[in-house]
Amino acid sequence: MFMRFFTELRQARVPVTLKEYLMLMEGLDKGVIDRSVDDFYYLSRAALVKDEKNIDKFDQVFGHVFKGLERVEDGITADIPAEWLKKISEKFLTEEEKAQIEAMGGFDKLMEALAERLKEQKERHEGGNKAIGTGGTSPFGTHGYHPEGIRIGQEKGRHGKAIKVWDKREYKNLDDQVELGTRNIKVALRRLRKWVRDGAAEELDMDGTIRGTAEKGYLDIHMRPERRNKISVLIFFDIGGSMDSHIKVCEELFSAARAEFKNMEFYYFHNCLYEAVWKDNRRRHAEKIPTWDVLHKFPHDYKVIFVGDATMSPYEITYPGGSVEHWNEEAGAIWLDRVSQIYEHVVWLNPTAERHWDYTPSIGVIKQLVNDRMFPLTLDGLEKAMKELAR
């Protein structure tokens, strides 16, 4: 059974190794958990999953391999109040099914029958037409059929007792194949970290205090600076035009970046970088900031991120006066080249799906200007971009 679990995880492309599997078996052999499915789930997840993005795949495989091992708990009637069932029925049952329930004597009779059968039944039951179990035609249970039945432990539960954690799949938005969200953007951005201790010594150094006390024979308190992420980030957001359809994902990226990088600056531009940028889109024409001032203000150790779909006329990049909004004295390509010359670490995040890039010539031009360091704005693309910036 456990070998099947291991092989199906491999087939689902969860990178588990034989060493991790043997570690899990050793833990079971030494009895580090109680013999319950829930405890085994948490132990196996801790032993076999090394990256958050694989938790969803792990949950799917676990639910598939070990489905049906859970039991109906005592006192489950407390999770299924009659009033709640009546409200649910109004939304999901057809008129014919409601009539069949009334023919039995209504919900009150149905609930009385459920209470009697819970008292009578002492073990798990599968199939059949009376007992509470799975796959049968009894009015009570799960994964079966009965028009006037009560579903127990199949999809939802008020207190989380009627559904297992691997069915909830609380980490499903961490899968690198799904749409981005603020939560999993933060997970990807955390890969860009460089911890240092500088500033005032305000944090207790426990190891230093213990070592100093042992050496001197009296209490010798040591303090140290708080650990901080030294990475500084400069982000340029393309705004307006074709980027309007990507507002949501850009907002999520901005929110996650503000939370992860304490030393972050941002500016807006339209289509391509020119001689001016801005901080407030409502006053973009009145309060522009010269791009030269930005490049002179932030030192070369800043990590630079451009966010834009790079979708425009190639003339907007390569020719003076190519901008659709104003007359630019210098081509946008010159300004992008200046950024690359000043800052060693520059990436471009493109919210357009990567499979469409070859159909837009301007994307190819921008990609070349940033030395092929353009990545799709997906979880996988963000991870690759962060690895590039962390070099």
Instruction: Answer for the pair 285, 255: CB distance below 8 angstroms, yes or no.
Output: no
Which of 171, 142, 136, 144 has the alpha carbon at shortest distance from 157?
142
Instruction: Quote the CA–CA distance of 100 and 223 in Å, as a whole number.
Output: 74
- Predicted pLDDT at 325: 85
Contact 115, 77 (CB under 8 A): yes
Tokens of 363: 């994307």
Reference 189, options 390, 389, 386, 388; nearest CA is 386
pTM for this model (two decimals): 0.54
Check residue 336 and give its pLDDT: 96
Contact 351, 250 (CB under 8 A): yes
pLDDT of residue 255: 84
The predicted pLDDT at position 51 comes to 78
Give the CA distances from residue 154 to residues 47, 67, 288, in Å, rounded to whole numbers and listed in that order.
28, 11, 58
pLDDT of residue 87: 61
Residue 58 dihedral angles phi and psi, to the nearest 5°: -60, -45
pLDDT the model gives residue 319:
92
- 185: three-class secondary structure by DSSP: helix
As a whole number of angstroms, the distance between CA 237 and CA 265 comes to: 11
pLDDT at 162: 36
- pLDDT mean for each 10 residues of the chain (391 residues): 84 87 87 84 88 81 74 45 60 66 64 64 50 47 46 44 53 50 65 64 86 91 77 90 87 84 89 93 83 94 94 93 90 95 94 93 95 91 89 81
> Please, are residues 45 and 20 in contact by the beta-carbon 8 Å criterion?
no
Specify the pLDDT at position 250.
Answer: 87
Q: What are phi and psi of 234, to 5 degrees?
A: -120, 115
What's the pLDDT score for residue 361? Answer: 93
